[in-house]
């Protein structure tokens, strides 16, 4: 998360949010692309009965059913990789959180998938913020989420945090934001 104070009086804070262009998404898109192409090459080699690449030995693989299943997995992996590459290209989920004390608003802006609802732009009164919450969801796929708790116990997610981030770094981000807004930091 990158923060910047955009007003000379430090009354406006804008936190940049990067979701789709994370290192993990680049890693998985690349790994899926390479692996899927490998599966497709093996499946096609078993179909024609000839090794397309010299280091791929597919002569002992029957096309029906093994080669067909390998080809299916290759096509499925390639379509998943294409989805990831398009999400990276279109910056899906990227945007910013703007806390504007001058206007008295919390503005959340995110990019969605192309279409009529691509721009997601929400605004809330800043005086409705009761606190900044760090929610931890444990179990398989442990996740930490930085939220703004509004009146009526509504929670607005500001940032989904990677489990690799240190606890002190996450608490530091939350504490900075709570200090800027003059609200308490809540952990759950």
pLDDT exceeds cutoff 80 at 139: no
**pLDDT bucket at 167, cuts 50 / 70 / 90:** confident
Domain final residue pick, 43, 74, 90:
90
Q: Does residue 98 sit in the same domain as residue 11?
A: yes
Q: Does residue 102 sit in the same domain as residue 150?
A: yes
Domain final residue pick, 72, 90, 108:
90
Q: Which residue has the higher pLDDT, 81 or 137?
A: 81
Q: Does residue 138 sit in the same domain as residue 175?
A: yes
Q: Does residue 117 sit in the same domain as residue 154?
A: yes
pLDDT exceeds cutoff 80 at 140: no
* Domain assignment of residue 96, given as a range: 2-19+92-187
Q: Does residue 99 sit in the same domain as residue 180?
A: yes
As a whole number of angstroms, the distance between CA 141 and CA 13 comes to 31
pLDDT at 161: 67
Domain final residue pick, 40, 62, 90:
90
- Pick from 117, 113, 181: nearest CA to 147: 181
Q: Does residue 35 sit in the same domain as residue 113?
A: no
pLDDT at 31: 98
As a whole number of angstroms, the distance between CA 86 and CA 102 comes to 37
Cα→Cα distances 18→74, 76, 79, 172, 177, Å:
29, 27, 23, 18, 17
pLDDT exceeds cutoff 80 at 141: no
Is the Cα torsion angle 169, 170, 171, 177 positive or negative in sign?
positive
Q: Does residue 77 sit in the same domain as residue 156?
A: no
Using one digit for the tens of pLDDT, what is the confidence trace for 62-100?
A: 999 999 999 999 999 999 999 999 999 999 999 999 999
Q: Does residue 132 sit in the same domain as residue 66?
A: no
Q: Does residue 84 sit in the same domain as residue 145?
A: no
Q: Does residue 61 sit in the same domain as residue 106?
A: no
Number of domains in the chain: 2
pLDDT exceeds cutoff 90 at 37: yes
Q: What CATH number did the domain enclosing 172 receive?
A: 2.30.29
pLDDT at 101: 92
């Amino acid at each position: 998360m990158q923060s910047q104070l955009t007003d000379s009086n430090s009354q406006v804070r804008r936190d940049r949010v990067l979701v789709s262009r994370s290192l993990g998404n680049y890693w998985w898109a690349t790994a899926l692309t390479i692996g899927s192409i490998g599966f497709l090459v093996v499946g096609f080699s078993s179909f024609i009965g000839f090794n397309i690449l010299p280091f791929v030995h597919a002569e002992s693989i029957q096309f029906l059913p093994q080669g067909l299943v390998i080809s299916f997995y290759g096509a499925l992996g390639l379509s998943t990789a294409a989805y990831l590459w398009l999400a990276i290209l279109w910056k899906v989920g990227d945007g910013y959180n703007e806390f504007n004390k001058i206007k008295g608003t919390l503005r959340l802006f995110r990019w969605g998938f192309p279409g009529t609802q691509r721009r997601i732009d929400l605004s809330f009164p800043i005086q409705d913020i009761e606190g900044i919450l760090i929610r931890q969801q444990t179990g398989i796929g442990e996740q930490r989420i930085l939220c703004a708790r509004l009146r009526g116990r509504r929670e607005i997610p500001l940032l989904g945090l990677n489990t690799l981030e240190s606890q002190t770094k996450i608490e530091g981000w939350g504490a900075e934001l709570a200090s800027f807004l003059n609200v308490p930091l809540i952990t759950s």
